[in-house]
Amino acid sequence: MSTEPSRPAAPIKLGIQPTGWTNDDFPEIGNDTPYQQILDETRSTGFVGGSTGHNYPSHLPSLQHALTTRGLGITSTWAGTRFTAEGAYDDTLQDVRNQIALLKSVNATDIVVAELAAAVNQVRTKSVLTDRPIFSEAQRFLLYKGLNEAGRIAAESGMRLSYHPHVGTGVQQRAETDALLHNTDPKYVWLCIDTGHTQLAGDDPVALAAKHAKRIGHVHLKSVRQRVVEAATRGKYSFYQAVLDGVFTVPGDPAGAIDFDPIFASLKEAGFTGWIVVEAEQDPKKADPLWCAKTAREFLRAKLGF
């Protein structure tokens, strides 16, 4: 598809995900962390938002109050689609509509999705890199069709849908990401680049950002500890084991292996607007969330100038 995407006129906003404090895939990690602490430390370290976490209020007025009293926004929510699962196409579109309604109620502008049918990222006995699904041609057709429709629904609601390639899923490798972007409409389907997932999958986030900069609608910024990436690859780790062993860290941590300068250069050249969100699934008992948030914010201030 050749239509050039049109970016909204909006500034870059810097957020941080609650995954440094707690974890939606594995809720026992940091489950005793009050959501108020996450929001307070998000604000105190200079970020202006993040996504919701599993321990955030499900009562909408309570969530709205918690955000507005701190001057914070919601970057997006994680929306797992199931377009490739038999009989799940229509229900998946309805789930997308429900997520959009929730996001609009908290004044969010982005929805981030990933196809989670048959995914293994939450399965603690499966290798996140080798046991994941490989989609058939028919499944890819359904996925691309569904994403175009979901993206159109989002656009009609004034929102931007970005697809997140994710380890443990059927869109993990660079070739699968390239094919998805080639076969979906740029007006409706953007890319959520996740630097850490790309590196863990064995690909190059710098090259991905350079090639698809004009399609990037949302950024998940994390680094990796390369020694853990290599151990996870050799040992066929589950996602759970990789996270607990510290595969991810925040940008600015000297232990991280990703060079973010060329990624920022690609975003700048493409005129990127929207959310750049620090995200590093970590065990808060091993990686202090407040230190991580401060470190990442200082790094971004030095690199971006704000």
Reported as a pLDDT band with limits 50, 70 and 90, residue 2 is: very low
For 32-127, where are the E strands, in sequence order?
49-50, 73-74, 78-81, 110-115
| Global pTM value | 0.96
| Residue 176, token pair as written in the block | 């699968």
Q: State pLDDT tens for residues 71-110.
A: 999 999 889 999 999 999 999 999 999 999 999 999 999 9
With a cut of 90, say whether residue 263 has pLDDT above it.
yes
Q: Compute the average pLDDT of residues 60-80.
A: 95
Instruction: Report the C-alpha gap between 260 and 194 in whole angstroms.
Output: 12
DSSP state of 208: H
pLDDT of residue 77: 85
pLDDT of residue 291: 98
The residues with which 73 forms a beta bridge, in sequence order, are 49
Instruction: Report the C-alpha gap between 239 and 232 in whole angstroms.
Output: 9
Reported as a pLDDT band with limits 50, 70 and 90, residue 20 is: very high
pLDDT of residue 46: 98
The packing angle between helices 289-304 and 261-269, to 10°, is: 50
CATH of domain 12-304: 3.20.20.150
DSSP 56-72: S-SSHHHHHHHHHTTT-
Dihedral class, residue 202 (left if φ above 0, else alpha if ψ from -120 to 50, else beta): left
Reported as a pLDDT band with limits 50, 70 and 90, residue 5 is: confident
For the chain, give the percent of residues with pLDDT over 90: 95
Q: Per-domain residue ranges for the chain?
A: 12-304
Cα dihedral sign, 286-255-122-231: negative
With a cut of 50, say whether residue 156 has pLDDT above it.
yes
Instruction: Report the C-alpha gap between 166 and 77 in whole angstroms.
Output: 15
Q: State pLDDT tens for residues 175-226.
A: 999 999 999 999 999 999 999 999 999 999 999 999 999 999 999 999 999 9
